[in-house]
């Protein structure tokens, strides 16, 4: 899967992202596409739309699993890196629920990044 195919998949689970994807400068590469999707997920966390949020997390995992190396790098560099800041202001129960709903594949990537620092 390349970034153009990923955009189509994202629009299916997060239709609000379609307007942002129409802006050409936001869709020129995998990093920009994942950035738009990450902003949508941040918004869903903020408004506590759990049904759509969990579908989006599942789709992010699917894109990571089936995507090309550039998409994988984008997810690791953009989404996984931003995950802590996205849930920072959430109460602990909601934060725990979000992390429980993150698919195992993305959880492994998240933990690898968190523990990779070598400190």
Number of compact structural domains in the chain: 1
pTM of the model: 0.90
- Mapping DSSP onto H, E and C, the string for 95-114 reads HHHHHHHCCHHHHHHHHHHH
Q: What are phi and psi of 68, to 5 degrees?
A: -70, 175
Residue range(s) defining the domain that contains residue 16: 3-115
Name the DSSP letter for residue 78: I
Task: Name the residue among 112, 33, 22 with its Cα closest to residue 74.
Answer: 33
Radius of gyration of the chain from its Cα atoms, rounded to whole angstroms = 14
The string of pLDDT tens digits covering residues 46-101 is 999 999 999 999 999 999 999 999 999 999 999 999 999 999 999 999 999 999 99
Name the DSSP letter for residue 116: T
Q: Which helix (H) or strand (E) holds 50?
A: helix 50-66
Sign of the alpha-carbon torsion through 56, 66, 32, 114:
positive
pLDDT at 63: 97
pLDDT at 28: 82
Task: Name the residue among 79, 87, 88, 89 with its Cα closest to residue 110.
Answer: 79
């Amino acid at each position: 899967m390349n970034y153009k195919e990923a955009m189509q998949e994202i629009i299916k689970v997060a239709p609000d992202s379609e307007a942002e994807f129409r802006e050409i400068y936001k869709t020129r590469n995998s990093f920009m596409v994942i950035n738009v999707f990450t902003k949508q997920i941040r918004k869903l966390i903020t408004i506590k739309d759990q049904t759509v949020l969990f579908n989006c997390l599942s789709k992010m995992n699917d894109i990571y699993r089936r995507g090309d190396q550039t998409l994988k790098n984008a997810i690791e560099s953009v989404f996984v890196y931003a995950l802590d800041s996205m849930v920072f202001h959430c109460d602990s129960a909601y934060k725990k629920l979000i992390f429980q709903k993150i698919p195992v594949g993305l959880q492994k990537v998240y933990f690898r990044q968190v523990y990779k620092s070598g400190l």
